Amino acid sequence: MPIKKSRKIDIYAMTWRLPIIIWQLLFFVGPVIFMIAMSFFLVKNYRMMEAFEFINWSKMFSKNYFWDSYFYTITIASISTILAMVLAFPASFALAFKASEQMRRWAIFLLIIPFFTSYLVRTFSWFVILSEKGVVNALLGYIGLGPFTMLNTNFGTLVGYLTLTLPLVVILQTVTMANIDRTLIEAARNLGCKPLSTIWKVIIPLSKTGLIVAAIFCFILSFGDFVAPFYLGGSQEPTLPILILDTTKSGQQWPRAAVVAIVMMITLFSVAFIGIALAYRKKASK
C-alpha cells in the first residue's frame, strides 16, 4: 500500500511541476541548444546554412576586439558591482539598524517603485541630467565648474548600470542585515568591540551570504545589460551585448553572435557558481 500512496503523491507533485518544466524546456533549454548548434553554422551570401564547423569559434577567439570587449565588459561590470555594493551599504545599514520597522517597510516599497517603470525610460531621463547642457552641468556652472562630458563615457555606462542595480542591491542588503540577530552585535560590543568595528567583525560576516547574492545579481545584470553601455556609454568601447548586436548586423553573422552569447553564459554561470560556493562555504570541521 505505501508504494501506491507514494506514486499518487508523485503524480500530484508532477502536475504542479509540469508547467514550469515545459516552460523551461521550451523557452530556455531549447533555445540554448539551438544557439549552441547555431554557433557551428556557416553564413554564405548573407544566409545562414546548417553546418558543423568550428570556424566561428576560431575566428572570434583570434580577434583582438573580441578579447578587448570581453575584458572590458568584465572590468566595467566588476566596477559597477563594487560601486553598487559600496554605495548601497550605508543606506542599507541605516535602514537595517537605524530605521524603525515601519520606515524600513516603506523604504523597501519605495525602492521597488523604480522597477514599475521601464528601464529604458529611466535611462533616457539621464540625458536631461547628464548632457552637456543638462541639469548637473548647469548646477556646476553656477560654482564655475565644468561643463563636463558625462554622456558617452564609462561614467555614463556606470550611471546606467547603477540605475538598474542600485535599488535591488539596497533591498537585498537591507533585508539581509535586518535579519541579523542583534544579540550578536551586542555580544561583540560587550566583549570590547567598538561600534564601527562591529561592521567588519560581526555584521559583514553574518550577512555574507546575502551580500554575495546581491553582488552576483549586480554583476549579472551589469554584465548582460545592453541599454546602459549603448545609450549612456555611447558604445565607444563595445561591451559583449553590443558586440552581439554589431555582429548580427554586420553580414548577418548570427553564428558568431551565438559564440559571444555562449561565452557570456559560461562566464555568468562560473561567476554565479563561484559566488554561491563562497556564500555558503562552511569552515571545514576537524
Rounded to a whole number of angstroms, the minimum distance from the CB of residue 275 to other proteins is 17
Rounded to a whole number of angstroms, the minimum distance from the CB of residue 280 to other proteins is 12
Cell reading at 8: 499518487
Site for other proteins in 124-153 (CB under 8 A): none
Instruction: Residue 110: name the closest of 126, 127, 91, 93 by CA.
Output: 91
Q: Which stretch binds other proteins (CB under 8 A): 78-86, 131-139, 161-169, 277-285?
A: 277-285
Question: CA 90, CA 78: separation in Å to the nearest integer?
Answer: 20
Rounded to a whole number of angstroms, the minimum distance from the CB of residue 99 to other proteins is 18
Question: CA 269, CA 254: separation in Å to the nearest integer?
Answer: 22
Q: Which stretch binds other proteins (CB under 8 A): 74-82, 178-186, 232-240, 255-263?
A: 178-186
Q: Which stretch binds other proteins (CB under 8 A): 11-19, 79-87, 200-208, 264-272?
A: 200-208
**Amino acid making up residue 260:** V
Cell reading at 35: 544557439
Q: Does 189 bind other proteins (CB under 8 A)?
A: yes
| CB-neighbour burial class of residue 229 (10 A; exposed 0-12, middle 13-18, buried 19+) | buried
Question: CA 33, CA 45: separation in Å to the nearest integer?
Answer: 25
Rounded to a whole number of angstroms, the minimum distance from the CB of residue 155 to other proteins is 37
Report the residue from 30, 90, 205, 251 that binds other proteins according to the rule CB under 8 A. 205
Cell reading at 23: 516552460
Q: Does 196 bind other proteins (CB under 8 A)?
A: no
Report the residue from 10, 53, 68, 181 that binds other proteins according to the rule CB under 8 A. 181
Which single residue is written with the C-alpha cell 562555504? 281
Q: Does 281 bind other proteins (CB under 8 A)?
A: no
Q: Does 195 bind other proteins (CB under 8 A)?
A: yes
Question: CA 69, CA 80: separation in Å to the nearest integer?
Answer: 16
Backbone φ and ψ for 147, nearest 5 degrees, come out as: -75, 145
Q: Does 282 bind other proteins (CB under 8 A)?
A: yes
Alpha-helix residue ranges (DSSP H) falling in 191-253: 197-198, 204-206, 208-224, 227, 240-249
Q: Which stretch binds other proteins (CB under 8 A): 1-9, 49-57, 135-143, 204-212?
A: 204-212
Report the residue from 208, 246, 252, 268 that binds other proteins according to the rule CB under 8 A. 208
Residue 146 or 275: the one with the smaller Cβ distance to other proteins is 275
Q: Does 102 bind other proteins (CB under 8 A)?
A: no
Rounded to a whole number of angstroms, the minimum distance from the CB of residue 7 to other proteins is 37
Backbone φ and ψ for 280, nearest 5 degrees, come out as: -105, 10
Q: Does 202 bind other proteins (CB under 8 A)?
A: yes
Question: CA 59, CA 259: separation in Å to the nearest integer?
Answer: 10
Report the residue from 8, 63, 194, 249 that binds other proteins according to the rule CB under 8 A. 194
Question: CA 211, CA 216: separation in Å to the nearest integer?
Answer: 9
Q: Which residues bind other proteins (CB under 8 A)?
A: 181, 183-184, 186-195, 197, 201-202, 205-206, 208, 282-283, 285-286
